[in-house]
Amino acid sequence: MSTGSDSLLRMQRQAVDPQTAPERLRELAQLPQIAPLVATNPAATAPLLRTLADGTDATIRAAVAAHPNAPLDLLLRLAGEFPAAFCANPVLPLLLLEQPDLPARMGADTLRRLLCYAGVPQSILRWIVAHAAPSEAEAARLHIGLAGAAGADWPARARAALWRVAPPGYSDLLLELLGLGGVPAWLLEMLAALGDVEVRTAVARSPHTPRALLRPLRRAGASGDLRGYGVPTQPCDPQVLAWLAAGGVYARRVAARNPATPAPVLAQLAADVDRSVRQGVARNSAAPPALLARLATDRTADVRQLVARHAAAPHVLERLARDPSRDVRFTVARNPRTPPAALERLASDPERAVRQALVRNPATQPALLVRLAADAHPKVRAAVARRSGATFAQGAQPAPGAHTPVPAASRIPAPAQPTKEQRAADPAAPLDDLRALAEDEDPKVRGAVGRHPRTPPDLLAWLADDESPIVHRGVAEHPDVPPALLERFAADPTWANYKVRLAVARHPQVTSHALALMAGDLAVAVRRLVLANPLTPAAARRQILARSLDMCLTSSEPFYHAVALAHPQAPVAALLQAWQSPEWLVRLAAAQNPRAPHELLVLLSEDGNQLVRAAALAALSQPQPAAVSVDETVIPDASIRYGVGSDQRVLYEQLAAFATDPALKAAGAATQRAPDRHERS
């Protein structure tokens, strides 16, 4: 026994000894209990470190991330998985001096994971703010290393940051959650400013939306349901307009159209990436002439066309008369404020519609009309004739190649015989015909019989046994279909029966039992109809909410992860994993959940994001909820999984005994965290 212990101790010493031969280090790296020590040896070569990093042991991989001899591509690969070890690597300052754009070689996911760590060097943060994509740049601006710690005003800072969060890519699930009241109130303001009109309308109509949240938009000119824009009934505070100008697409659009929006804010909106926002500025009656001149060179023809209609833009009409877009030149030709020189130019425009619009312009001079009366196109000449009140000569011959009208009597087609489907849909169809058509080989014909209001119950029951979903849908749309048949169709969850269940959910005689059967439907459209029906039982609504939250957790959209983790019914197991998310919005949602476990809040109180850290600290200062039962900590099948890697707190405990060189000590100090929850238990 003593001999074995001596042998193990000798191998451990060899593993950390810088004088150990490379061949011996490679041999020792094959031993699982010695490999972590080999990864800390200052003499470990780059090929050996690369081999060690290919394994699955997180302790070894983190030690490689902290090793100064690790190849650059390997360090960049491990940076997101082990940000503390990467930032503690003694060679990192030298790398940043040689390559200030080092973060450019990292992927977006690596950058987001790196920003979770509080000890990221400021040079990296500044580069991300200046050069990375908007989402990563925003996360870097909120990093504790640049923004500092947030104080008691953190909710206001969070509100401003949420204003710039990218919306989810699909809205069906979001519309369902809004109907259920499953979206936290602190996310609703951002959703009310989205470009998606369905989402905005759902937010405006939801009884769960605080009315005060919608007041700024409505005072600035948003319609009551947030679908469009209306003239504001009262002046709006310029500060509110500046706030809206920093929000979502719709909020920026409303601010762009409001006449009270300050000129500097309008100038900012005139350079917006969204075309509809720039169009709003071009529509604004208070837009300065200099700003209209800038928009007259916009890359989008729709924006230039709106400038051509503006009352304050006669100084740019001369330029727009040469615009490559026909629609822009057409608008200039119709504008009574267009200078005579521009009208003269448009009289020779190659597009007939532009010359015809010029005839309709009340500012067009008679001499120009005389010139257009001899235009090569007959429609232009006809427009001049209508304006002057003249008529063509009685003996005028039709233009060469003109179509000779055909007598009306010869163009009347013979009446067509009704098809079987039309006969089955005829309200006056005899019952015998309906019974005969119910046996037709075409399912569309049988379906038309099923929805016919005169089809008797016995024939409906017979058609309900048909093999075609088209026929089932017809039966489900019958005005007096028996409730038992509706419940039978509602119990069929197949995708082939999807439209049948839609018809059942829309039916005025649908029963609460049928609605409960469809509460767990895989189709979002069916569940939304179930939610909208007042007969839907409360238990069914809870079932829909549970399923919606489950779908949020398995979604590829971080926004939906945040919605699920902010809800009081979020699984505790998912909350416990939320600190590993690379998305600060997800971590912020978990920190604000009233059921967030204490150990999660402790971890998030050290987060690299100032808002996440402040929210966690605020939650820790409040009375803690009751302890979570063991059953609630079991990870459900649909639990959130981010695949971040191993817990670096365990890594520090395993490496502490082997801290024999300065590089490893630095890595250990950087990765030191609170004890893992499994270790504490």
Per-residue pLDDT of 92-103, as tens digits, reads 999 999 999 999
Number of Cβ within 10 Å of residue 396's Cβ equals 8
Dihedral sign for Cα 243, 247, 250, 255, please: positive
By C-alpha distance, which of 153, 140, 146, 86 is closest to 112?
140
Q: Across the strands, what pairs with 222?
A: 229
Residue pair 160/246 in contact (Cβ under 8 Å)? The answer is: yes
Q: Residue 631 has what pLDDT?
A: 43
Helix (H, G, I), strand (E, B) or coil at 143: strand
DSSP 8-state secondary structure symbol assigned to residue 658: G
pLDDT attached to residue 544: 87
Q: Are 311 and 319 in contact (CB under 8 A)?
A: no
DSSP structure string for 22-50: HHHHHHHTTSTTTHHHHTT-TT--HHHHH
Can you give the pLDDT at residue 410? 44
d(CA 289, CA 267): 11
Structure confidence at residue 673 (pLDDT):
41
The residue type at 253: R
Question: Could you report the per-residue pLDDT of 277-315, keeping only the tens digit for each?
Answer: 999 999 999 999 999 999 999 999 999 999 999 988 888
Confidence of residue 413 (pLDDT cuts 50, 70, 90): low
Looking at the DSSP bridge assignments, the partners of residue 609 are 143
pLDDT at 543: 87
Instruction: Give residue 114's pLDDT band: very low, low, confident or very high (50, 70, 90).
Output: very high
Res. 626 pLDDT band, cuts 50 70 90 = low
Number of continuous H segments (helices) and E segments (strands) in the chain: 47, 0
Asked if 133 and 110 touch (Cβ cutoff 8 Å), the reply is: no
Top pLDDT among 117 and 659 is at 117
Q: Which residues contact 419 (CB under 8 A, 6 or more apart)?
A: none
User: How far is 187 from 177, CA to CA, in rounded Å?
Assistant: 12
What is the maximum span of the chain, computed from C-alpha positions, in angstroms?
A: 126
Handedness of CA 268, 270, 276, 279 (dihedral sign): positive
Separation CA 1–CA 590 (nearest Å): 51
Asked if residues 365 and 338 have their Cβ atoms less than 8 Å apart, the reply is: no
CA dist 530 and 519 (Å) reads 7
Distance between first and last Cα of the chain = 32
Q: Which residues touch 298 (CB under 8 Å, ≥6 apart)?
A: 278, 282, 304, 307
Q: What is the pLDDT of residue 118?
A: 95
Mean pLDDT computed over 655-663: 41
* Torsions phi, psi for 132 (to 5 deg): -80, 175
Q: What number of other Cβ atoms are within 10 A of residue 461's Cβ?
A: 15
pLDDT of residue 233: 75
On the question of pLDDT at 671 being above 80, the answer is no
Contacts of 153-157 with CB under 8 Å at 24 or more apart are 154/610, 154/611, 154/614, 154/615, 154/618, 155/186, 157/610, 157/611, 157/614
Side-chain half-sphere CA neighbours of 314 within 13 A: 9
CA gyration radius, the chain: 35
Tokens of 215: 């007041």
Q: Which of 212-216, 623-627, 638-642 has the highest mean pLDDT?
A: 212-216
pLDDT at 542: 87
Q: What's the confidence (pLDDT) of residue 3?
A: 65
How remote is the C-alpha of 101 from its chain's centroid?
29
Give one word for 148, left, alpha or beta, with left for phi > 0 and alpha for psi -120 to 50.
left
Please name the residue that has the structure tokens 């030149």.
329
The pLDDT assigned to 10 comes to 87
Tell me the three state secondary structure of residue 229: strand
Beta-bridge mates of residue 143: 609
- For residue 144, count other CB atoms closer than 10 A to its CB: 23
Spatial CA neighbour of 584 closest among 103, 173, 143, 76: 143
DSSP state of 609: B
User: Can you give the pLDDT at residue 604?
Assistant: 97
Do residues 469 and 446 lie in contact, with contact meaning Cβ atoms separated by under 8 Å? no
Task: Tell me which amino acid residue 13 is.
Answer: R
Separation in Å, CA 267 to CA 245, 276, 563: 11, 15, 35
Per cent of the chain over pLDDT 70 is 87
pLDDT at 313: 81
CB-count exposure of residue 304 (10 Å: 0-12, 13-18, 19+):
buried
CB 368 within 8 A of CB 358: yes
Q: How far is CA 545 from the centre of its chain?
A: 21
Mean pLDDT, to the nearest integer, of 58-71? 93
Q: Mean pLDDT score of the chain, rounded to an integer?
A: 86
Phi, psi torsion values for 222, nearest 5 degrees:
-70, 145
Q: Is the pLDDT of residue 666 over 70?
A: no
Quickly count: other Cβ atoms within 10 Å of residue 426's Cβ.
Answer: 15
* Sign (positive or negative) of CA dihedral 560, 565, 570, 571: positive
Question: Nearest-5° angle of CA 472, CA 473, CA 474?
Answer: 90
**CA atoms of 36 and 28, how far apart (whole Å):** 10
User: 668 pLDDT band (50/70/90 cuts)?
Assistant: very low
How large is the average pLDDT for residues 418-436? 90
Q: At CB < 8 A and 24+ separation, what contacts does 612-620 make?
A: 612/584, 612/587, 612/588, 613/118, 613/144, 613/149, 613/150, 614/149, 614/150, 614/151, 614/154, 614/157, 615/154, 615/158, 615/588, 615/591, 616/591, 618/154, 619/591, 619/592
pLDDT tens-place string over residues 320-361: 999 999 999 999 999 999 999 999 999 999 999 999 999 999
**Tens-digit pLDDT profile for residues 599-616:** 999 999 999 999 999 999
Coil, strand or helix at 64: helix
